[in-house]
């Protein structure tokens, strides 16, 4: 058997919608984009949605709207896909990393509050939170704390109530990276509606795909207009031929938008199928705790929209060897996430070292994403689990010997 890491869930309805765009002739900036935006706005229960061509582009525009500019500080998590903090660097801002909750892998709200208080106090306490290369005195004279950027990791909602409080009490913009969490809910409310803007993504392995694509949602009418201008080279949305801002080409094609609109109309079905696959995995993993730990699920009012199925291997298990042996049996896996601060691009710029964010690093060493999609069969889940368990048990025998 050869199991794909992920597979898009495309039906005849998606194929027909894309074909109709190709026959109609309007391939960009047309009715499909409007339709897709309206569908996401309704699904997320947000008043404004603006389509762009990637989740990364959405994050970038959200940080522009938040006013992040050179030297500005943005409190965020090192345990994420690298795009979340790269967007801060695009604006020449500085991510202030805060370690994560070991259960969920999401930013620890108490540490985030502590970092915000320390950085705002601006005394010696602030230094501990700055990147090592910026800790010497005087280097932060011009820095401003601008925004809070939590990530809903693998579809598990971040602990939003205390994060909202920290942002409100300190006059910070709150931007949600909801790229892995379309359809997730925190305390009965969809993620993406807790702050000033949120980014969603539609790469091929996400819950809803447009091939490549992204979406911004915001409660602010002014931000909606700004996003529409910025995605279209900074054009005035009312007067063509006038350019108001330094803009980008972050427009989504009509083919992608048509695909997305159909996918969103199937959102409940897609999420239910993913939930079912996650339940098959959970049932098979549970007896093998703590050797293999299944992902945490939320409390009563939290709904997880499953993006990936990421287990944790017990300390001492050689993950690289497990991955190699599974690969040889037709089971691809991924080490989600390699912590951002330890990537060469961040180490070189900011001087981070191993040990700086121990929880994120521990998760980063032990986490293993298994094949996952809405079209996975129970038989495939069986196959993956049987081989994972056998390979890990073999490893444990080696460690014990
Ligand atoms: C997928 C993802 C992104 C970026 O989305 P793209 O569409 O690939 O640019 C950003 N943040 C997180 C957490 C993601 O998983």
Per-residue 3-state assignment (H helix, E strand, C coil) for 35-75: HHHHHHHHHHCCCEEEEECCHHHHHHHHHHHCCCCCCCEEE
**Largest Cα–Cα distance in the chain?**
74
CA of 215 to the centre of ligand 1 (A): 11
Cα Rg for the chain, rounded, in angstroms? 22
Distance between Cα 176 and ligand 1 center (Å): 12
> CA nearest 271: which of 307, 217, 301?
307
What is the Å distance from ligand 1's center to 98 Cα?
Answer: 19
- Residue 56 CA to ligand 1 center (angstroms) comes to 6
What is the position in ligand 1's atom list of the atom closest to the CA of 80? 13
Please work out whether the CB of residue 81 comes within 6 Å of at least one atom of ligand 1. yes
Substitution candidate for ligand 1 out of 57, 100, 179, 231 with most atoms within 8 A of CB: 179
| Per-residue model confidence as pLDDT tens digits over 151-203 | 999 999 999 999 999 999 999 999 999 999 999 999 999 999 999 999 999 99
Give me the tens of pLDDT residue by residue for the chain, a chain 401 residues long.
899 999 999 999 999 999 999 999 899 999 999 999 999 999 999 999 999 999 999 999 999 999 999 999 999 999 999 999 999 999 999 999 999 999 999 999 999 999 999 999 887 888 899 999 998 765 554 579 999 999 999 999 999 999 999 999 999 999 999 999 999 999 999 999 999 999 999 999 999 999 999 999 999 999 999 999 999 999 998 888 899 999 999 999 999 999 999 999 999 999 999 999 999 999 999 999 999 999 988 777 789 999 999 999 999 999 999 999 999 999 999 999 999 999 999 999 999 999 999 999 999 999 999 999 999 999 999 999 999 999 999 988 877 77
Q: How far is the CA of 57 from the centre of ligand 1 (A)?
A: 9
Whether 179 is in the pocket of ligand 1, judged by its Cβ within 6 Å, is yes
Check residue 139 and give its pLDDT: 52
Q: Give the percent of the chain with pLDDT over 70.
A: 98
Cα 290 to chain centroid, rounded: 27
Nearest CA to ligand 1 atom 2: 179
8 Å CB contact between 100 and 360: yes
> Cα(81) to centroid of ligand 1, in Å?
6
| Per-residue pLDDT, 299 | 74
* 203 in contact with ligand 1, CB cutoff 6 A: yes
pTM for this structure?
Answer: 0.97
Angle made by CA atoms 246, 247, 252, in degrees to the nearest 5: 175
Q: How far apart are CA 13 and CA 310, in angstroms?
A: 31
Residue 155 Cβ contacting ligand 1 at under 6 Å: no
Q: What are the structure tokens assigned to 287, written together?
A: 């007896």
151 lines ligand 1 (CB under 6 A): yes
Contact 182, 190 (CB under 8 A): no
Other CB atoms closer than 10 Å to residue 46's CB: what's the count? 20
**Sequence-distant (≥ 6) Cβ neighbours of residue 338 within 8 angstroms:** 364
CA–CA separation, 83 vs 214, rounded Å?
Answer: 13
Q: Give the strand order in the sheet containing 214-218.
A: 48-52, 214-218, 197-201, 173-177, 145-149, 73-76, 94-97
* Closest ligand 1 atom number to CA of residue 180: 15
Inter-residue contact 174 to 161 (CB < 8 Å): no
CA–centroid distance, 138 to ligand 1, in Å, is: 35
**CA–CA distances in Å: residue 376 to residues 46, 147, 188, 281, 304:** 31, 39, 28, 11, 18
Rounded Cα distance between 54 and 46, Å, is: 19
The reply to whether ligand 1 has any atom less than 6 angstroms from the CB of 201 is: yes
CB atoms within 10 A of CB 4: 15
């Amino acid at each position: 058997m050869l199991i794909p890491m992920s597979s898009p869930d495309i039906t005849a309805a998606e194929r027909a919608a894309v074909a109709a765009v190709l026959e109609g002739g309007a391939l960009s900036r047309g009715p499909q984009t409007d339709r897709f935006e309206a569908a996401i706005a309704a699904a997320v229960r947000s008043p404004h949605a603006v389509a762009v061509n990637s989740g990364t582009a959405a994050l970038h525009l959200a940080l522009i709207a938040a006013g992040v500019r050179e030297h500005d500080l943005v409190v965020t998590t090192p345990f994420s896909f690298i795009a979340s903090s790269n967007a801060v660097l695009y604006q020449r801002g500085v991510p202030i990393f805060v370690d994560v909750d070991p259960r969920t892998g999401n930013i620890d709200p108490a540490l985030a509050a502590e970092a915000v208080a320390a950085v705002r106090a601006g005394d010696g306490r602030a230094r501990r939170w700055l990147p090592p290369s910026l800790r010497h005195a005087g280097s932060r004279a011009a820095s401003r704390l601008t925004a809070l950027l939590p990530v809903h990791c693998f579809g598990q909602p971040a602990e939003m109530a205390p994060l909202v409080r920290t942002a409100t009490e300190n006059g910070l913009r709150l931007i949600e990276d909801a790229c892995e969490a379309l359809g997730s809910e925190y305390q009965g409310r969809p993620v993406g509606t807790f702050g000033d803007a949120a980014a969603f993504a539609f790469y091929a392995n996400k819950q809803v795909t447009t091939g490549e694509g992204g979406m911004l949602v915001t409660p602010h009418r002014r931000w909606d207009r700004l996003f529409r201008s910025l995605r279209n080279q900074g054009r005035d949305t009312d007067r063509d031929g006038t350019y108001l801002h330094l803009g980008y080409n972050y427009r989504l094609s009509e083919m992608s938008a048509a695909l997305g609109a159909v996918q969103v109309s199937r959102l409940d079905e897609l999420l239910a199928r993913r939930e079912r696959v996650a339940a098959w995995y959970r049932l098979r993993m549970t007896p093998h705790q703590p050797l293999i730990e299944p992902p945490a699920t939320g409390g009563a009012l939290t709904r997880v929209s499953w993006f990936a199925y990421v287990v944790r291997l017990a300390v001492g298990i050689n993950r690289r060897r497990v991955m190699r042996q599974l690969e040889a049996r037709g089971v691809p896996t991924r080490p989600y996430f390699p912590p951002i601060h330890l990537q060469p691009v961040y180490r070189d710029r900011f001087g981070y070292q191993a040990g700086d964010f121990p929880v994120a690093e521990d998760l980063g060493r032990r986490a293993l994403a298994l094949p996952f999609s809405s079209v996975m069969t129970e038989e495939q889940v069986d196959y993956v689990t049987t081989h994972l368990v056998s390979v890990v048990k073999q490893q444990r025998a080696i460690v014990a010997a």
